[in-house]
Chain A
């Protein structure tokens, strides 16, 4: 009967040059790495190159992984660095716009005769999330996140899409927890503002 090895044991064996163990690691994480690279790079060519470079880096540097962080944290760091380098090399990203361009909620909202706040911020239209997303909405989402500066985009993807904690995201990006929180807040507001015209049209 085949023995189920723990991830630590697979990593340990791969570090010693066991090819089967390394292949197992690639197979376990190939989808996670590609999916994350695609979300961060926002370009299939760059995601493909990043995916390949990441596993080549893992192959060469696995002995440096000391197990003090999660293996996925280490992988996310390599993907982020590779994607950042591709961005510098090709300068393909669209010019990122100011992160602070937001609709301010006013200190002095409009009130009715009885002092109740009148809603001046329109509610968003209902969007069924369980059906296949239409191409127009997909295009709006793509354009908005491409305009988000790279470092903010990575924080948003790690925290809100990949589900990492602020501490884990901080380890990936070598940022303090308050810095992660601040970037996440601004990224969320930025994306919300970009989607607002479409979602209230």
Chain B
């Protein structure tokens, strides 16, 4: 049986969709093999992961106190 050649764009499509899952299924073996020897796909995958980490590390915002008071007053709730 002819082995299917994996190209970088295929890898890109897959790693972009399944970034958060482990590449452990049977059909992922070729992708893993490709990743292990392709510095471009590895660099790309690392940069995607960094992108997500950067956005996740942005500090969480809290509602301003003035706004809270306004809402509680509008809904006639006790703060």
Contact = CB atoms under 8 A, between A and B. Distances in A.
Interface centre among A59, A117, A145, A196 (most CB of B within 10 A): A117
Contacts of B74: 52, 56
Contact of B47 (A33, A119, A124, A145): A124
B contacts with A: majority SS = helix
A119 B75 contact: no
A191 B49 CA distance: 11
A48 B67 contact: yes
B55 A145 contact: yes
Nearest to A194: B51
A contacts with B: majority SS = helix
B28 interface: no
Given A124-B46, A124-B50, A138 B7 contact: no
Counting contact residues on chain B (CB < 8 A from A), the size range is 35 or more
Given A26-B77, A105-B9, A141 B54 contact: yes
Contacts of A39: 58
Given A22-B77, A133-B58, A51 B51 contact: no
A116 B37 CA distance: 8
A76 interface: no
Nearest to B68: A30
Interface string B53-79: 111111011111001101110111110
A69 interface: no
A192 B15 CA distance: 13
A19 B77 contact: yes
5 contacts: A52-B74, A107-B9, A109-B40, A121-B47, A161-B55
Given A31-B63, A48-B64, A185-B16, 13 more contacts: A19-B78, A22-B77, A23-B78, A26-B72, A48-B67, A51-B67, A116-B37, A121-B43, A124-B46, A127-B50, A160-B55, A184-B17, A189-B48
Interface of B: 7-9, 11-13, 16-17, 19, 37-41, 43-44, 46-48, 50-58, 60-64, 67-68, 70-72, 74-78
Interface of A: 19, 22-23, 26, 30-31, 33-35, 38-39, 44, 47-48, 51-52, 55-56, 59, 104-107, 109, 116-124, 127, 129, 133, 137-138, 141, 145, 156, 160-161, 181-182, 184-185, 188-189, 191-192, 195-196, 199
